[in-house]
Amino acid sequence: MNRTGLMIILSSPSGAGKSTLARRLMDWDPTLSFSVSATTRPPREGEIDGVHYYFSSRQQFQTLVETDQMLEHAEVFGNFYGSPRGPVEKAMNDGRDTLFDVDWQGGQQIRASALGGHVVSIFVLPPSLPELERRLRSRGQDSEEVIAGRMLKSRDEISHWAEYDYVLVNDDLDRTEADLRAILTAERLRRDRQAGLGGFVKKLMAEEA
């Protein structure tokens, strides 16, 4: 019984564990595809087109937006970033799920897109704001100014929690990963996601006991 692939949106404030959980989820299921973003910024040393990003000119990017080939997009520090529709749609048609690491604004755009009916959205919360700040500091990568900015932004991001299908509090990484696995397994088994189920049941009913 075939099924259409899902678009799995994973969002959280910075430091809540989203990137680690995404890596763990993909280690658990190697068939998961990670949505590669398109960008108009130039490649950095070592970056490969189609692997790290799809690099394009501003004109090419704008054409993709105008022809509804971007599931979501935004301008960040003078460059455009977005999620191309083509690779995701191909994965869905092949029955493979795609994981998106986007913020609430990107999530809104994807849900409002032509493929929005195939979205499963999950928001990851920290156990507390002091713990979120501790995690940001433990990275040892950001200045005090950057950390303050991330903490300020986190309140805005958390305020959109109710827009998501599932909300997880990441107070234990292993348990949160197990919850993510359970969500994905259950969503894959939903009746309306199994494209060949109707035909299978019809054939089953026609069989003689």
Domains of the chain with CATH codes: 7-194 (3.40.50.300)
Does position 77 have pLDDT exceeding 60, yes or no?
yes
Does position 209 have pLDDT exceeding 90, yes or no?
no
Residue 92 · residue 110 · CB < 8 Å = no
Which amino acid would we find at residue 191? R
Q: What is the per-residue pLDDT across 114-150, written as a single tens digit (0 to 9) for each?
A: 899 999 999 999 999 999 999 888 877 778 888 888 8
Q: What is the per-residue pLDDT across 157-170, written as a single tens digit (0 to 9) for each?
A: 999 999 999 999 99
What integer best gives the mean pLDDT of the chain?
A: 92
Instruction: Taking residues 69-73, report their average pLDDT.
Output: 95
* CB contact set of 139 (below 8 Å; sequence gap of 6+): 15
Neighbours of 135 (CB within 10 A): 15
